Amino acid sequence: MKPLGIGLIGTGYMGKCHALAWNAVKAVFGDVERPRLVHLAEANADLAKSRAAEFGFEKATSDWKALIADPQVDVVSVTTPNQFHAEMAIAALQAGKHVWCEKPMAPAYADAEHMLKAARASGKVAVLGYNYIQNPVMRHIKTLIGEAAIGAVNHIRVEMDEDFMADPEGFFYWKSELSSGYGALDDFAVHPLSLLWYLFGHVEAVITDMVKPFADRPLMEGGRRAVENHDGANVLMRLGGGISAVLMANRAAWGRKGRIALQIFGSKGSIAYDQERMNEFELYQADDRGTEQGFRKILAAPAHRPYDRFIPAPGHGLGFNDLKIIECRELIRAISGQPSSLVTFEDGLRIERSVHAMAQSFHERRWIEIG
Ligand code: NAD
Residue 238 pLDDT > 70, yes or no?
A: yes
Q: Give yes or no for residue 42 CB within 6 A of ligand 1.
A: yes
Nearest CA to ligand 1 atom 17: 43
Tens digits of per-residue pLDDT, 21-52? 999 999 999 999 999 999 999 999 999 999 99
User: Rounded distance, CA 189 to CA 1, Å?
Assistant: 38
Residues of the chain with CATH 3.30.360.10: 133-369
Q: Give yes or no for residue 129 CB within 6 A of ligand 1.
A: yes
> Of all atoms in ligand 1, which is nearest to the CA of residue 324?
41
CATH of domain 133-369: 3.30.360.10
Cβ proximity of 156 and 246 under 8 Å: yes
Q: Give yes or no for residue 103 CB within 6 A of ligand 1.
A: yes
Q: Give yes or no for residue 9 CB within 6 A of ligand 1.
A: yes
pLDDT value for 127 = 98
Instruction: Tell me which of 11, 13, 20, 50 to substitute to probe ligand 1's pocket, judged by most ligand atoms within 8 Å of the beta carbon.
Output: 13
pLDDT value for 53 = 98
Instruction: Tell me which of 20, 54, 79 to substitute to probe ligand 1's pocket, judged by most ligand atoms within 8 Å of the beta carbon.
Output: 79
DSSP letters, 219-247, are: -TTSSEEE--SBSEEEEEEEEGGG-EEEE
Tens digits of per-residue pLDDT, 279-329? 999 999 998 888 889 999 999 999 999 999 999 999 999 999 999 999 999
Residue 275 pLDDT > 70, yes or no?
A: yes
Q: Give yes or no for residue 77 CB within 6 A of ligand 1.
A: no
pLDDT value for 1 = 65
Q: How far is the CA of 180 from the centre of ligand 1 (A)?
A: 11
Q: How far is the CA of 286 from the centre of ligand 1 (A)?
A: 44
Q: Give yes or no for residue 43 CB within 6 A of ligand 1.
A: yes
Nearest CA to ligand 1 atom 10: 10
Query: Cis peptide before 104, with omega less than 30 degrees from 0?
Result: yes
Tens digits of per-residue pLDDT, 75-91? 999 999 999 999 999 99
**Residue 149 CA: distances (Å) to CA of 141, 142, 267, 293:** 9, 10, 10, 17
Q: Mapping DSSP to helix (H, G, I), strand (E, B) and coil, where does residue 176 land?
A: helix
Match domain 5-128 to its CATH number in 3.30.1310.10, 3.30.43.10, 3.40.50.720, 3.40.30.10: 3.40.50.720
> Of all atoms in ligand 1, which is nearest to the CA of residue 129?
41
The amino acid sitting at 359 is: A
Residues of the chain with CATH 3.40.50.720: 5-128
Nearest CA to ligand 1 atom 34: 103
pLDDT value for 10 = 98
Tens digits of per-residue pLDDT, 195-226? 999 999 999 999 999 999 999 999 999 999 99
pLDDT value for 2 = 84
The amino acid sitting at 362 is: F
Q: How far is the CA of 234 from the centre of ligand 1 (A)?
A: 26
Q: Give yes or no for residue 80 CB within 6 A of ligand 1.
A: yes
Count of CA atoms in the C-beta half-sphere (13 A) of 76: 31
Q: Give yes or no for residue 41 CB within 6 A of ligand 1.
A: yes
Burial class (CB in 10 A: 0-12, 13-18, 19+), 185: buried
In this prediction the pTM is 0.96
Q: At what angle do helices 13-29 and 45-55 cross, to 10 degrees?
A: 20
Residue 177 pLDDT > 90, yes or no?
A: yes
Percent of the chain with pLDDT over 70: 100
Query: Cis peptide before 306, with omega less than 30 degrees from 0?
Result: yes
pLDDT value for 43 = 98
Instruction: Tell me which of 11, 14, 327 to substitute to probe ligand 1's pocket, judged by most ligand atoms within 8 Å of the beta carbon.
Output: 14
Count of CA atoms in the C-beta half-sphere (13 A) of 366: 4
> Of all atoms in ligand 1, which is nearest to the CA of residue 10?
7
